[in-house]
Amino acid sequence: MGKNNDFVKQITKKSEDFSKWYIDVIKRAKLADYSPMKGMMVIRPYGYEIWELIKENLDRMLKETGHRNAYFPLLIPESFLKKEAEHVKGFAPEVAWVTIGGNEVLEERLAIRPTSEAIICSMYSKWIKSWRDLPLLINQWANIVRWEKVTRPFLRTTEFLWQEGHTVHSSYEEAEEETLKILDIYKTLAEKYLAIPVIPGLKSENEKFAGALRTYCIEALMPDGKALQMGTSHNLAQNFSKAFNIKFENKKQEIEFAWQTSWGVTTRLIGALIMTHGDDSGLILPPEISPFQAVIIPIAKGNYTKSILSEAKKIHNKLKEKGIRSCLDDRDSYTPGWKFSEWELKGVPVRIEIGPKDLEKGQVVLVNRIDRNKIFVKQENLLSTLKELLNEIQIKLFNRAKDFRENNTNNVERFSELKEIIETKKGFIKTGWCGSNKCEKEVKEKTSATIRAIINEKNSNFKKCAICGKKAKHTVLFAKSY
């Protein structure tokens, strides 16, 4: 094995085979790997570090809005899962069951949580007695198992990581307010941190969470023209409180069933990130959630080796001190060219080069990952220029994705048009819908597109339903989806 035995191999071009490119990037950038457990992936350190940054930012926003973390059991007795009828119907087909524990066959089989409403609600019915106990705002960071038939790393895996919020309120209005507040936090997470523009909306009856009254979502458009659901927030109303007997004494001293919400985002967000921003050279990570915001590559040559390395170290330490996530690649068994490719593949937004000439001139070179544009900057201006550049990259990634989405969103009045677009260029289709199950089903059968979100529930700006021609109740977004 030579010293470059893991030399950056060519990855498939994004424009040529999007699905293959996606898998190539994940494997080559060491974000994740297939495991011996079919459908379950290993999240490697580089991928997990992205997840840690997503977690850190979302966790802070949730805490700032009064939510507290807790931890509930992984296993749920079957009888508990069955208490809410819609819920069990939705999840039972995907459950992994524990039937043996400590060499003994269990009397009742146990579900590995496909979501935790059933176990959490059973505790809430013990904890909640009075309006004084409300609102109860709890979140859990956990692993989830759903027995999926077709899987793809990050996007759909048999096990995934997520957070699930479960809150209890004293009125429907408060629960609805919470549901929307979280949807807004998810939008901020997607747009401000992941640099992915999303459209918030309401799910149709067919697409909503099993057990919810209303499911809201944020939807993004991927480069292949398919929609990706990036987070959901459910107003559960009293569906679970009635099933699990969660009652409280209200201010009028009447006993009432409580009002609940639940909501979650998953490691799927990393999939969205990869697809949205990457290019033929690999990943491009938005600075806000990039494990390394800048990578310093010393171009060490001849007599200069020592002085360049020591200068590179100084810069690295200074950046770290100032809160920049900097990486110094001073490995001597790889050439600068190899390192350029590797860190481009890993999507680090800015590369900092320092060679003999730069040292002489007291400058460094900043290279923008998006367009490889170079900026020569005096050392004393490095920090401010770098911060500006990172900010610029963050905004540019968002704007680029937003432009793509806008160029791939079509207003449509007739079904024939809808069908043609889905069959050719795909993307989001904005249209009127009468609200009937029949029309929704017809689109799905004939085009395989579904309603991703109702974006104008009350006053459709379309006069007619694109399918049946009757009066449009809602404006909706149709798309093929992941």
Tally of CB atoms within 10 A around 275: 24
Tally of CB atoms within 10 A around 252: 7
Nearest distance, CB of residue 147 and a second copy, angstroms: 3
Kindly tell me which residue out of 93, 323, 337, 362 binds a second copy, with binding defined by CB under 8 A: 93
Kindly tell me which residue out of 58, 61, 81, 110 binds a second copy, with binding defined by CB under 8 A: 110
For residue 66, state whether it binds a second copy (rule: CB under 8 A).
no
For residue 75, state whether it binds a second copy (rule: CB under 8 A).
yes
Kindly tell me which residue out of 13, 23, 83, 96 binds a second copy, with binding defined by CB under 8 A: 96
Kindly tell me which residue out of 10, 16, 36, 251 binds a second copy, with binding defined by CB under 8 A: 36
Binding mask 305-334 for a second copy (x = CB under 8 A): ----------------------------x-
Identify the CA nearest to 28 among candidates 403, 400, 345, 371: 345
- Is cis: bond before 135, omega within 30 of 0? yes
Q: Nearest-5° angle of CA 336, CA 342, CA 347?
A: 125
* In the block, residue with structure tokens 């579904």: 450
Restricted to residues 172-191, the positions that interact with a second copy (CB under 8 A) are none
Nearest distance, CB of residue 168 and a second copy, angstroms: 13
Secondary structure class of 334 (helix, strand, coil): coil
Span of 68-76, 256-264, 381-389, 409-417 interacting with a second copy by CB under 8 A: 68-76
Cα→Cα distances 350→227, 262, 382, 458, Å:
29, 38, 12, 46
| 356 Cα distance to chain centroid | 42
**Dist CA 72 CA 140 (whole Å):** 8
Nearer to a second copy, 30 or 444 (CB): 30
Restricted to residues 123-162, the positions that interact with a second copy (CB under 8 A) are 123, 126-127, 129-130, 132, 138, 142-143, 145, 147-149, 159, 161
Restricted to residues 228-287, the positions that interact with a second copy (CB under 8 A) are 249
DSSP 379: G
Structure tokens at 290: 């990039």
Q: Judge whether 89 and 212 are in contact, CB under 8 Å.
A: no
The residues binding a second copy (CB under 8 A) are 1, 3, 5, 33, 35-37, 40-45, 47-49, 51-52, 68-77, 80, 92-103, 109-110, 112, 119, 122-123, 126-127, 129-130, 132, 138, 142-143, 145, 147-149, 159, 161, 249, 333
